[in-house]
Amino acid sequence: MSDSKPTAFITFSDCDQRIELPLLEGSLGPRCIDIRQLGSQGYFSFDPGFLSTASCHSDITYIDGDLGLLYYRGYPIEQLAESADFLEVAYLLRHGELPIESERTGFDSVIRHHTMIHDQMNYFFRAFRRDAHPIAVMVSAVGALSAFYQDSAEVTDPLQREISMDRLLAKIPTIAAWSYKYNRGEPFIYPQNRLSYAANFLHMLHATPCEPYEPNPVAVRALDRIFILHADHEQNASTSTVRTAGSSYANPFACVAAGIASLWGPLHGGANEAVLRMLEEIGDVSRIGEFIQRAKDKSSGFRLMGFGHRIYKNMDPRAAIMRRTCHEVLDELGLHDDPLFKIALKLEEIALEDEYFIKKKLYPNVDFYSGIVLRALGIPTSMFTAIFALARTAGWTAQWNEMVSAKDHKITRPRQIYTGSPRRDFVPGEQRRSRRK
Ligand code: CMC
C-alpha cells in the first residue's frame, strides 16, 4: 500500500506469502478488515453465521451491544419511541431525515390511502385452511402482491421502488389482520383511512360488522411504540434475507415475503410467541423456582424465553422502553392482577436478582415485554410474529432500497469450504457395489 493509512497483514506459517489488507472505518463502530482481494489471491474467508463479517455499507441503523445503544439514522431509539410516531420513523428509515410537516402529511396520506388490497386477494385468502398460522398466510399473500403489481419489477427505477415501498407499508397491516380474521372464521374488515396506522390495524383486527369498535388510545400508543421498536435492527437474519433475495433485482414483494419467512423462526421473530407459551406452561407463581432451576441446568435443554440477546450484553434499550410501556399498559387497563402477568413480573424480578443470569448478562429482552403488552392489548399469541413482520417492513424496505441503489451493488454470492468427495468417475448401475457393510 502506498499511503500511510493503517492496514492489516495476513502472514502464513507454511510459506512466506504476506497479504496486506486495507482497513475500513464507518462513522461509528469497530474497524473492518477489507478482505475483498483475498479471492483473487486464491483464498476465501470462513465465517458461518457472519459473526465477524460486514456484508454491506449502511447508513440506516447502528447498534452497540456492549453499551446498549440503538440508533435509527443517528437518532437514539429512546427519543424516537418517546416523541415520534411509527410513520415518521418509517419515513426516517427510508429517507434518512425526519419529515418536515408537509412531507409528513404527504407520506401519511399516501400510506393511509393505499391500505386496501386488490379484491381478487379475497379469493387468495380463502384458499387456505382456516387453522393456518397467520404468518404462513402472510408469507404467501405478500409474495402474491407481485402478481398484482407487475410494474414493481422495474427495481432500478427509483419511482417504481418508492411506489412498491409505499404499497408494502400501507397494505401489510391489512394482510396481517385478514390473516387473523380468516383464521377466526370472521369476515374481513376493510381499512378505515381516517384512522392512524396503529389504530387502523387494531380496528381491522378487532372490529366485526355487527359491533362498532373504537380503539383505546392507550392501546394505540403502546402498539405504535412496539412498531417503532421493531422497525429495524441492522443486518439481522430477515433483513439479510431481504437484501440477499433483492440482490438479484428480484421483485420487492417477493423479497419481503422471503424476509417474513426468515423472521418466522423461533430464534428470531418467533421468540415473543415463545415467551407467552412459556408463561402459560409455568402456570403459577409457585412454579417459577422450578423453571429457573431448569434454565440453569444445561442438560435440561430449556432456556428462559425472552432472556438474553446475541448482540446486547447490556440491557437491550428496546427492552427498557418496553418495560415502562408494559407497566403503563397494565396500570391503565387494570391488569396487574392477571395471573399470567403476575408470573411474568415475578419471573423478571427473580431472574434480575439471580446470580446465574447476572453473571451471564442475561437480561429480559424486548420480546419478553412486548409479548406481555400485546397480550394485554387483547392481541392473540399467534399474531405476535405477524406484528413484528408488519413493523419490520419499514426496515426491510429501507434496507432493500439502500441495497438496490448502492453504487457498489453486487449480487450476493458467498463461497464455501467444499468437504464432499474429490473427483470420481461415473459407475454404470449394474457395476455398483452395495455400500452396506
Ligand atoms: N436462559 C438460560 N440460559 C441462557 C439463556 C436463557 N434464555 N440464554 C443464554 N443462556 C446461557 C447459555 O446456556 C450459555 O451458557 P454457557 O456460557 O454456560 O454455555 C450462555 O448463556 C450464552 O448463551 P449463548 O447461546 O452462547 O448466547 P447467544 O448470544 O448465542 O444467544 C440468544 C442469544 C437470544 C439466542 C439466547 O440468549 C436465547 O436462546 N434466549 C432465549 C430466546 C429469546 O428470548 N430470543 C429472543 C432474542 S431477542 C429478538 C431479536 O432481537 O431478534
- Cα of 134 vs centre of ligand 1, distance in Å, is 27
Checking if the pLDDT of 168 tops 90, the result is yes
C-alpha to C-alpha distances, 160 to 216, 276, 299, nearest whole angstrom: 36, 40, 53
Among the ranges given (50-59, 265-274, 372-381, 422-431), the one the predictor scored with the smallest mean pLDDT = 265-274
In this prediction, residue 342 carries a pLDDT of 87
In this prediction, residue 280 carries a pLDDT of 92
Proportion of the chain above pLDDT 70, given as a percent: 99
| 85 band by pLDDT with thresholds 50, 70 and 90 | very high
Residue nearest to atom 8 of ligand 1 (CA): 308
Residue nearest to atom 29 of ligand 1 (CA): 310
The predicted model gives 399-426 an average pLDDT of: 95
Contacts of 310 (CB under 8 A, 6+ apart): 65
Q: Say if ligand 1 is within 6 A of residue 362 CB.
A: yes
- Cα of 308 vs centre of ligand 1, distance in Å, is 5
Q: What's the sign of the alpha-carbon dihedral 184, 190, 193, 195?
A: negative
| 351 band by pLDDT with thresholds 50, 70 and 90 | confident
Specify the residue for cell string 391500505. 115
Contacts of 351 (CB under 8 A, 6+ apart): 292, 304, 307, 357, 362, 364
Residue nearest to atom 46 of ligand 1 (CA): 271
Against a cut of 0.95, is the pTM above it?
Answer: no
The string of pLDDT tens digits covering residues 92-109 is 999 999 999 999 999 999
Longest CA–CA span in the chain (Å) reads 80
In this prediction, residue 327 carries a pLDDT of 87
The string of pLDDT tens digits covering residues 270-310 is 888 889 999 999 999 999 999 999 999 989 999 999 999 88
Checking if the pLDDT of 1 tops 70, the result is no
- Cα of 240 vs centre of ligand 1, distance in Å, is 21
Contact 364, 323 (CB under 8 A): yes
- Cα–Cα–Cα angle for 401, 118, 173, rounded to 5 degrees: 60
- Cα of 81 vs centre of ligand 1, distance in Å, is 26
Q: Say if ligand 1 is within 6 A of residue 307 CB.
A: yes
Checking if the pLDDT of 2 tops 60, the result is no
Closest ligand 1 atom to Cα of 298: 13
Higher pLDDT, 428 or 332: 428
Q: Say if ligand 1 is within 6 A of residue 402 CB.
A: no
Residue nearest to atom 50 of ligand 1 (CA): 268
In this prediction, residue 191 carries a pLDDT of 96
Q: Say if ligand 1 is within 6 A of residue 277 CB.
A: no
Give me the DSSP letters along 215-284: --HHHHHHHHHHHHHTS--SS-HHHHHHHHHHTTT--HHHHHHHHHHHHTSTTTTTHHHHHHHHHHHH-S
Checking if the pLDDT of 120 tops 80, the result is yes
- Cα of 310 vs centre of ligand 1, distance in Å, is 7
Give me the DSSP letters along 287-323: GHHHHHHHHH-GGG----TTB--SS-SS--HHHHHHH
Q: Say if ligand 1 is within 6 A of residue 308 CB.
A: yes
The string of pLDDT tens digits covering residues 18-44 is 999 999 999 999 999 999 999 999 999
The predicted model gives 177-195 an average pLDDT of: 95
C-alpha to C-alpha distances, 164 to 122, 142, 178, 434, nearest whole angstrom: 21, 12, 20, 56
| 3 band by pLDDT with thresholds 50, 70 and 90 | low
Catalytic residues: 309, 367
In this prediction, residue 385 carries a pLDDT of 93
Length of the chain: 437
Mean pLDDT over the full length of the chain: 93
The predicted model gives 104-124 an average pLDDT of: 95
In this prediction, residue 337 carries a pLDDT of 81
| 400 band by pLDDT with thresholds 50, 70 and 90 | very high
The predicted model gives 208-223 an average pLDDT of: 92
| 151 band by pLDDT with thresholds 50, 70 and 90 | confident
The predicted model gives 106-131 an average pLDDT of: 94
Contacts of 153 (CB under 8 A, 6+ apart): 146, 251
